[in-house]
């Protein structure tokens, strides 16, 4: 039961937006865009009678979707930042931070394959980052490889057993992309075990989402 959601508009996965936002506030050297995206509003078309809610990314950032809407236009500033970072990683290929920021910019400008490449390189240089793995998982999902996304979210969880975003996003992929609703609910329930008050990006309590998904599944089986 794969859902067809517009890129960067209607997705249920989120990048680590909140953490990136915090980094932007605390690190003058890290560009705003690079790290965290504001939460995107998600329209659950054909799901739960028009219920609308948003979801974030791993560190709390932007969503992933599929085919309809066009990604946000890239600003000249972002385009220049990409050029600068591409030059930096060419000159200094072991610069972990540059690869990470470049990956974020590729993510934000919907350059999926490039984002995957940059994140992969960053993780080769500095493994063990659950947030970065979650962002990579989001990119795999956007590339049309939900199974690879699941595997990457699992890696993030193995790095940090209390990492809620990777568990939440895994549930999204399981339910909306793979149609494995029971497994998705288990993944979401594991999030609530970590944080009973966990909310989606638009403030919707996760427990309410679980209830709605369960209700829909029950009605579909009748």
Q: Does residue 116 register a pLDDT over 70?
A: yes
At 65, the pLDDT band (50, 70, 90 cuts) reads very low
Q: Does residue 26 register a pLDDT over 70?
A: no
pLDDT reported for residue 221: 80
pLDDT reported for residue 73: 60
With a CB cutoff of 8 Å and minimum separation 6, the contacts of 181 are 174, 175, 213, 217
Q: How many domains does the chain have?
A: 1
pLDDT for 75-115, tens place per residue?
899 999 999 999 999 999 999 999 999 999 999 999 999 99
214 part of a folded domain: yes
CATH of the domain at 100: 1.25.40.10
71 part of a folded domain: yes
pLDDT reported for residue 202: 75
125 part of a folded domain: yes
27 part of a folded domain: yes
Q: Does residue 28 register a pLDDT over 50?
A: no
In this structure, of 18-22, 72-76, 151-155, 202-206, the range with the lowest mean pLDDT score is: 18-22
pLDDT for 142-189, tens place per residue?
999 999 999 999 999 999 999 999 999 999 999 999 999 999 999 999
84 part of a folded domain: yes
Residue 63's domain comprises 17-221
1 part of a folded domain: no
State pTM to two decimals. 0.72
pLDDT reported for residue 16: 55
At 201, the pLDDT band (50, 70, 90 cuts) reads confident
């Amino acid at each position: 039961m794969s859902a067809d959601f517009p890129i960067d508009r209607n997705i249920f996965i989120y990048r680590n937006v909140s953490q990136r936002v915090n980094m932007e506030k605390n690190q003058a050297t890290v560009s705003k865009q690079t790290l965290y995206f504001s939460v995107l509003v998600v329209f659950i078309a054909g799901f739960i009678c028009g219920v609308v809610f948003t979801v974030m990314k791993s560190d709390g950032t932007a969503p992933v979707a599929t085919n309809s809407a066009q990604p946000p236009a890239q600003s000249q500033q972002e385009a220049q930042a990409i050029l600068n970072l591409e030059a930096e990683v060419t000159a200094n290929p072991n610069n972990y931070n540059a690869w990470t920021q470049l990956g974020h910019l590729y993510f934000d400008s919907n350059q999926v394959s490039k984002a995957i490449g940059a994140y992969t390189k960053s993780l080769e240089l500095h493994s063990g980052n659950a947030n970065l793995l979650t962002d990579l998982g989001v990119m795999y999902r956007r590339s049309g490889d939900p199974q690879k996304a699941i595997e990457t979210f699992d890696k993030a969880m193995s790095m940090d057993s209390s990492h809620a975003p990777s568990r939440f996003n895994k549930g999204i992929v399981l339910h909306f992309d793979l149609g494995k609703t029971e497994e998705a609910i288990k993944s979401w329930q594991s999030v609530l075990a970590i944080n009973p008050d966990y909310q989606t990006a638009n403030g919707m309590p996760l427990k309410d989402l679980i209830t709605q998904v369960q209700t829909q599944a029950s009605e579909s089986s009748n």
